[in-house]
């Protein structure tokens, strides 16, 4: 096994398109004999021999990532290589997995056959019946060997030795787990003489008409017949271009596909052709002439139990889930996906940036010395990878751009890949973010994590000029995409709305791709039998990047995080608004193609008691890019009143391949949820001494500290000033200097202590002044609590005044209480049902909601601040056993209620570390610091930053 060669794999056939040949296929997936060795030296010789004795071996399923089946351990690094940067060498301690399979074949395979590996991570040597077939490199790319002359009907012996690392590992430094194994299928394909070797369908669209050219490789052209029955195309001569007349073009919104049949005397191949043309016009990406906006996500392939071997139903379900959340584009970060994914993307409708299996990011730590992207020794390998991606995937209309790879620095090999791709397939744009400084060999100006103001500048063509005028002119003519933005790590991403606003208001900005779709958590079970998701460092890796691999819009189990719901709302392709009188609806159609024919409109009016009235609206047709104002039925306007909320929804009129009839795509609301306050304005009572404290209405206070002891008979501690939160991943991020979490720690917000300055009772109530400060520092906050009582309840006015030298930011301004844990039921009027922070929670709606305390929490893989509900005017906590309850009212506050403290939340590393402590921890917040995306990218925008400041707010308790 030569693991030191920088070149591509050996012995395989030339790359070609993936298609269902219509000839017999034999899946070799299933249980194989398997043995893991710690190094090549420790592995036996002769595993390829037919009579090699593997009786002592265990077994493993194929496809699989072997560490997910108890053989070795997963390891996570982001940028850093887990081995010395010493190309093309890798350490001797290099796990070797030997796989062997015995199989029989039907006679059809004896007249010529191909053996296909769809993905082997990372370097394999393959023997069939004792003969060396060759080697594979390029983990996420197929390799096919010609094997017909070697097969026999009975007892064939296939042996595959897989090395975890090789010289090619320097090309596969993607931010993900290192997970070796034969992780995609192995298939035997009958391939008799005269069979089609390759097919290239070039299907363009212009001015309502389709243009078709089909190139084939294999049999004599005279033996091949091409037809598209639905277009009445028969006997198209391969290699000729035909104007097929009027066609329905393919787009992500309307993914029209046509059966295209290629037949020969030995086979009939059915392909799905989509007619579409990708162009750049005036620095704008157009598909079929229409400007498009990518509402995209970056998609890795990961499964919490199977690693890289993602079951087909999981992948298909996640694509449907994307469509249901208004995702219209996928970047296959950072390698070509399982081939079926692209077929589903054709059918369901996604614009795809297909990315090559290439990343050399770890060279950044050695100033990019010896980067393979610029090393002639690796040139052939890079070109081979590009060719294998383009050839495999070229017939998918969903692929609109070829991406050279990710974070591979700069170098001549990249330029060569781009050039090769343009020659072979000029119909798609070439993407590579790493070339953004000059963009010399790419067709799009692509960036990652650029702040929104910079993106806007680029959108106005006001980005600083490049020194080279020719390059500058080239770049100024390019459309712009954010191939990564809105780092979805933990609580967040904050700031989606501002990016979307920028995208929608510049023709040059073609949208972006959130980083990333799925968290790469790995299932584990605690000693108590509770399942949780593990991340980097949990497997004893000496070098790792912790939970940086947990940054998805959905959990590893594909459960949507709040960020996905926000994304769905922020990118909704139709924006609606109701006028103040509820008489008209404005509909702005942001689709690229759709005139809204596939949608229906509905309205509903809710009040606290439930739905008051509802009905359908007349369907609306609006051209893409246009807007219209339509009247609402009189019934709607007539229902308008205080304390009512109108919701208008745009829904699928009929079920589609990804959504049910009635599935909501866009919505808007009008109205309000004011809540009556019975006690407000009633006569005031004075405090008196009794019940072991100071009694004011329903409350008993400690006369010395001025803190509450009980309220309505419920034991309560507080209020304490709260300026801190358990840092989110974004709070911990230091993309722009010092992390907010570090600033808060430095300010001592997490260890504030208080002293009571004064407790003054008067006929009007009770005034408590307390000062909060932090050890060793002289900055403080004076808080004045003015308590008063009217018959039914208790009012509180809070004044917060910073004292001394404050700088930086506060996590929040609020008051904290602890209460009996038996208060397990919650309901509120405000925004819900999910969480909201100043720059997140766009998905939340006005209404009346209920939950349990347990369900308020979001189980982020690494625990952190979560679950605050905002815009609340009334909160009620209830003990279902006794019926005891506490109600808090206010003009608009946010709250969090948890069975553990913020300190426990901050200390926990995994979900299983969080254990209820027997109390209910309630925070009522007047303001919160934004969330931002500083875990990788910009922090909260200035309007969402909570700088130390004076604040006043009022609450009422009953
Ligand atoms: C960027 C990578 O392209 C992506 O793979 C992922 O690692 C992401 O960061 C963070 O999760 S690269 C970074 C230097 C911006």
Q: Is the CB of 364 under 6 A from ligand 1?
A: no
Average pLDDT score over residue span 705-722: 96
In a domain, 787, yes or no: yes
- Is residue 484 in contact with ligand 1, taking CB distance under 6 Å? yes
- The model's pLDDT over 477-526, given as tens digits with 9 standing for 90+, comes to 999 999 999 999 999 999 999 999 999 999 999 999 999 999 999 999 99
pLDDT at 683: 67
Residues whose CB falls within 8 Å of the CB of residue 477, separated by 6 or more in sequence, listed in order: 280, 283
Quote the ligand 1 centre to 175 CA distance (angstroms): 7
- Tell me the CA–centroid distance for residue 480 and ligand 1, in Å: 18
What is the pLDDT at residue 735? Answer: 66
**pLDDT for the residue 348:** 98
Residues 806 and 938 in one domain: yes
565 C-alpha to ligand 1 centroid (Å):
23
Share of the chain above pLDDT 70, in %: 99
Q: How far apart are CA 127 and CA 232, in angstroms?
A: 47
Q: How far is the CA of 743 from the centre of ligand 1 (A)?
A: 24
**Ligand 1 contacts CB of residue 449 (under 6 A):** yes
Please tell me the residue having the least CA distance from ligand 1 atom 9: 936
Same domain? 600 vs 513? no
pLDDT at 691: 80
Nearest to 356 by CA among 393, 319, 316: 393
Give the span between the Cα atoms of 578 and 589, in whole angstroms.
15
Are residue 240 and residue 286 in the same domain, yes or no?
no
What value does the CA radius of gyration of the chain take, rounded to a whole number of Å?
31
Q: How far is CA 777 from CA 14, 783, 801, in A?
A: 70, 18, 17
Shared domain check, 923 and 789: yes
* Cis omega (within 30 of 0) for bond into 135: no
User: Could you tell me which of 474, 491, 446 has the C-alpha nearest to residue 353?
Assistant: 446
Residue whose CA lies nearest to ligand 1 atom number 5: 175
* pLDDT > 90 fraction of the chain, expressed in percent and rounded: 96
Residue 681 lies in a domain: no
What DSSP character marks residue 935? G
Residue 683 in any domain: the answer is: no
Distance from C-alpha of 213 to C-alpha of 197, rounded to nearest angstrom: 17
Whether the CB-CB separation of 457 and 424 falls below 8 Å is answered with no
Q: Is residue 634 part of a domain?
A: yes
CA 505 – ligand 1 centroid, Å: 27
936 lines ligand 1 (CB under 6 A): yes
Give the atom of ligand 1 at the shortest distance from the alpha carbon of 406.
Answer: 3
Backbone CA torsion sign across 341, 347, 349, 351: positive
Both 80 and 224 in one domain: the answer is: no
The preferred substitution site among 515, 729, 735 for testing ligand 1, maximizing ligand atoms within 8 Å of CB, is 515
Q: Is 551 in the pocket of ligand 1 (CB under 6 A)?
A: yes
Report which ligand 1 atom has the smallest distance to the Cα of 551.
11
- Where is the domain boundary, 242, 276, 310? 276
> Which alpha helices (H) appear in 703-845, and where do they start and end?
729-732, 740-747
**Tens-place pLDDT, residues 735-760:** 668 999 999 999 999 999 999 999 99
The response to whether residue 488 sits with its C-beta less than 6 Å from ligand 1 reads no
Indicate whether residue 175 lines ligand 1 (CB < 6 A): yes
Sign of the CA dihedral with 257 first, then 353, 207, and 653 last: positive
* Ligand 1 contact, 574 CB (< 6 A): no
Q: How far apart are CA 306 and CA 66, in angstroms?
A: 9
| 728 and 808 fall within a common domain | yes
Distance 199 CA to ligand 1 centre (A): 35
Which atom in ligand 1 lies closest to the alpha carbon of residue 489? Answer: 11
**3-state secondary structure string, 91-156?**
CCCCCEEEEEEEECCCHHHHHCEEEEECCEECEEEEEECCEEEEEECCCCCCEEEECHHHCCCCCE
Domain annotation covers residue 4? no
Same domain, 165 and 290: no
One domain for residues 732 and 609: no
More confident site: 793 or 267: 267
- Alpha-carbon 170 to chain mean position: 26
Contact yes or no for 630/621 (Cβ under 8 A): no
* Residue 720 covered by a domain: yes
pLDDT score recorded for residue 685: 86
CA 344–ligand 1 middle distance (angstroms): 26
Atom number in ligand 1 closest to CA 516? 11
Q: Which domain holds residue 255?
A: 198-276
Q: Are residues 101 and 179 in the same domain?
A: yes
Q: What six digits make up the tokens of 35?
A: 């043995």
CATH of the domain at 175: 2.60.120.260
In this structure, what CATH number is given to the domain that contains residue 666?
A: 2.60.40.10
- Is there a single domain that holds both residue 661 and residue 702? no
Block residue for tokens 């295209």: 260
Both 946 and 797 in one domain: the answer is: yes
Residue 680: band (very low, low, confident or very high) from pLDDT cuts 50, 70, 90: low
Nearest protein CA to atom 13 of ligand 1, as residue: 936
Taking residue 153's Cβ as centre, other Cβ atoms within 10 Å add up to 11
Number of domains in the chain: 5
- Active centre residues (catalytic): 407, 484
Nearest ligand 1 atom to the CA of 549 is: 11
Give me ligand 1 centre to Cα 330, in Å: 16
CB 868 within 8 A of CB 928: yes
111 lines ligand 1 (CB under 6 A): no
Q: Separation of 909 CA from ligand 1 center, angstroms?
A: 22
DSSP label at residue 924: E
Which of 151, 167, 190 terminates a domain? The answer is 190
Q: What's the mean pLDDT when you consider all of the chain?
A: 97
User: Do 181 and 65 meet the contact criterion of CB atoms below 8 Å apart?
Assistant: yes
CA distances from 864 to 164, 731, 913, 915 (A): 35, 10, 12, 14
Cα 623 to chain center, whole Å?
30
CATH number of the domain where residue 930 is located? 2.70.98.10
Q: What is the pLDDT of residues 618-635, one digit of tens each?
A: 999 999 999 999 999 999
Q: Which residues pair with 509 in a beta bridge?
A: 480
Q: Which of 276, 310, 333 finishes a domain?
A: 276
Contact 389, 290 (CB under 8 A): no
Q: Are residues 394 and 543 in the same domain?
A: yes
Sign of CA dihedral 76, 80, 83, 87: positive
The band of 232, judged by pLDDT with boundaries at 50, 70 and 90, is very high
The distance between the two most distant Cα atoms of the chain, rounded to a whole number of Å, is 105
C-beta 407 within 6 A of ligand 1: yes
Residue at 94 is within a domain: yes
User: pLDDT, tens digit, for every residue of 519-578?
Assistant: 999 999 999 999 999 999 999 999 999 999 999 999 999 999 999 999 999 999 999 999
Four-residue CA torsion sign, 828, 604, 620, 319: positive
Has residue 16 got a pLDDT over 60? yes
List the beta strands (DSSP E) in 639-687.
645-652, 664-671, 684-685
Nearest ligand 1 atom to the CA of 79 is 7
| Whole-number Å distance between alpha carbons of 144 and 354 | 21
Q: Across residues 237-264, what is the average pLDDT?
A: 97
pTM: 0.98
The answer to the question of residue 77 being in a domain is yes
- The residue whose CA is least distant from atom 6 of ligand 1 is 175
Residue 433 Cα: closest atom of ligand 1: 3
Q: Which residues pair with 575 in a beta bridge?
A: 588
Q: Is the CB of 253 under 6 A from ligand 1?
A: no
């Amino acid at each position: 096994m030569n693991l030191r060669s920088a070149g591509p794999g050996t012995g395989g056939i030339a790359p070609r398109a993936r298609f269902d040949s219509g000839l017999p296929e034999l899946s070799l997936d299933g249980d194989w004999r398997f043995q893991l060795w710690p190094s090549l030296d420790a592995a036996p010789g002769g595993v390829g021999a037919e009579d090699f004795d593997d009786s002592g071996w265990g077994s493993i399923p194929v496809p699989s990532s072997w560490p997910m089946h108890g053989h070795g351990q997963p390891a996570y690094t982001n940028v850093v290589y887990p081995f010395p940067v010493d190309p093309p060498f890798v350490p001797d301690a290099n796990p070797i997995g030997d796989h062997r399979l015995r199989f029989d074949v039907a006679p059809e395979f004896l007249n010529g056959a191909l053996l296909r590996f769809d993905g082997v991570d990372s370097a394999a040597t393959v023997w069939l019946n004792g003969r060396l077939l060759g080697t594979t490199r390029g983990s996420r790319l197929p390799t096919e060997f010609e094997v017909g002359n070697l097969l026999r009907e009975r007892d064939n012996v296939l042996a595959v030795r897989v090395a975890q690392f090789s010289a090619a590992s320097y090309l596969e430094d993607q931010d993900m787990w290192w997970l070796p194994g034969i992780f995609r299928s192995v298939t035997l394909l009958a391939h008799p003489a005269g069979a089609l070797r390759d097919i290239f369908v070039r299907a363009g669209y212009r001015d309502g008409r389709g243009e078709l050219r089909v190139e084939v490789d294999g049999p004599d052209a005279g033996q091949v017949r091409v037809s598209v029955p639905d277009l009445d195309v028969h006997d198209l001569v391969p290699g000729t271009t035909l104007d097929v007349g009027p066609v329905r073009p393919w787009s992500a919104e309307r993914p029209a596909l046509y059966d295209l049949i290629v037949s020969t005397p030995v086979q009939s191949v059915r392909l799905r052709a989509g007619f579409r043309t990708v162009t750049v016009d005036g620095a704008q990406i157009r598909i079929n002439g229409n400007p498009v906006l990518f509402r995209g996500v970056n998609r890795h392939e990961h499964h919490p139990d199977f690693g890289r071997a993602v079951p087909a139903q999981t992948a298909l379900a996640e694509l449907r889930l994307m469509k249901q959340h208004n995702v219209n584009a996928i970047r296959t970060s950072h390698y070509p996906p399982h081939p079926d994914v692209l077929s589903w993307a054709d059918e369901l409708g996604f614009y795809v940036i297909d990315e090559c299996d290439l990343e050399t990011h770890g060279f950044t730590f050695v100033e990019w010395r010896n980067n393979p992207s610029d090393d002639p020794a690796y040139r052939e390998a890079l070109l081979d990878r590009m060719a294998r991606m383009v050839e495999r995937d070229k017939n998918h209309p969903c692929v609109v751009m070829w991406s050279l790879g990710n974070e591979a620095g700069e170098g001549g090999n990249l330029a060569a890949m781009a050039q090769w791709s343009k020659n072979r397939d000029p119909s798609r744009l070439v993407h590579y973010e790493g070339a953004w400084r000059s963009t010399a060999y790419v067709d799009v100006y692509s960036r990652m994590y650029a702040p929104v103001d910079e993106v806007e500048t680029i959108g106005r063509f006001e980005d600083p000029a490049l020194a080279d005028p020719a390059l500058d002119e080239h770049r100024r003519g390019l459309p712009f995409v954010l191939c990564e933005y809105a780092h979805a790590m933990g609580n967040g991403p904050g700031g989606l709305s501002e990016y979307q606003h920028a995208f929608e208001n510049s023709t040059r900005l073609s949208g972006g791709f959130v980083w990333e779709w799925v968290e790469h958590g790995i299932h584990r079970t605690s000693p108590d039998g509770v399942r949780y998701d593990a991340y980097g460092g949990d497997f004893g890796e000496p070098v790792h990047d912790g939970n940086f691999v947990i940054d998805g819009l959905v959990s590893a189990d594909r459960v949507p995080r709040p960020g996905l719901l926000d994304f769905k709302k922020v990118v909704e392709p139709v924006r609606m608004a109701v006028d103040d009188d509820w008489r008209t609806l404005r509909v702005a159609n942001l689709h690229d193609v759709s005139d809204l024919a596939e949608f229906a409109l509905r309205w509903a009016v809710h009040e606290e008691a439930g739905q008051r009235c509802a009905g359908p609206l007349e369907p609306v047709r609006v051209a893409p890019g246009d807007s219209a104002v339509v009247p609402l039925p009189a019934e709607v306007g007539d229902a308008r009143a205080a304390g009512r909320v109108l919701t208008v929804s745009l829904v699928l009129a009929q079920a589609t391949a990804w959504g049910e009839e009635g599935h909501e795509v866009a919505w808007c609301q009008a109205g309000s949820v004011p809540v009556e306050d019975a006690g407000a304005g009633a006569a005031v009572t004075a405090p008196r001494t009794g019940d072991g404290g100071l009694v004011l209405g329903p409350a008993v206070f400690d006369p010395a500290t001025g803190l509450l002891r009980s309220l309505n008979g419920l034991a309560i501690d507080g209020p304490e000033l709260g300026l801190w939160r358990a840092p989110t991943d974004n709070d911990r991020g230091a993309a722009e200097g010092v992390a907010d979490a570090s600033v808060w720690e430095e300010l001592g917000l997490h260890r504030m202590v208080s002293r009571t300055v004064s407790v003054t009772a008067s006929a009007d109530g009770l005034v408590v002044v307390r000062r909060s400060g932090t050890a060793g520092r002289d900055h403080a906050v004076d808080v004045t609590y003015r308590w008063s009582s009217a018959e039914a309840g208790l009012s509180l006015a809070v004044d917060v005044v910073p004292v001394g030298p404050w700088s930086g930011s506060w996590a929040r301004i609020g008051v904290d209480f602890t209460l009996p844990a038996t208060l397990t039921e919650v309901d509120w009027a405000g925004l819900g049902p999910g969480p909201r922070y100043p720059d997140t929670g766009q998905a939340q709606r006005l209404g009346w909601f209920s939950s349990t305390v347990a369900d308020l929490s979001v189980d982020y893989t690494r625990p952190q601040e979560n679950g605050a509900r905002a815009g609340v005017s009334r909160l009620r906590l209830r003990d279902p056993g006794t019926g005891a309850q506490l109600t808090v009212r206010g003009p608009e506050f946010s709250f969090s209620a948890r069975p553990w403290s913020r300190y426990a939340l901050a200390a926990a590393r995994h979900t299983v570390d969080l254990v209820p402590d027997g109390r209910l921890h309630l925070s009522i917040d007047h303001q919160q610091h934004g969330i931002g995306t500083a875990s990788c990218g910009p922090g909260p925008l200035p309007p969402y930053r909570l700088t130390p400041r004076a604040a006043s707010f009022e609450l009422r308790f009953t």
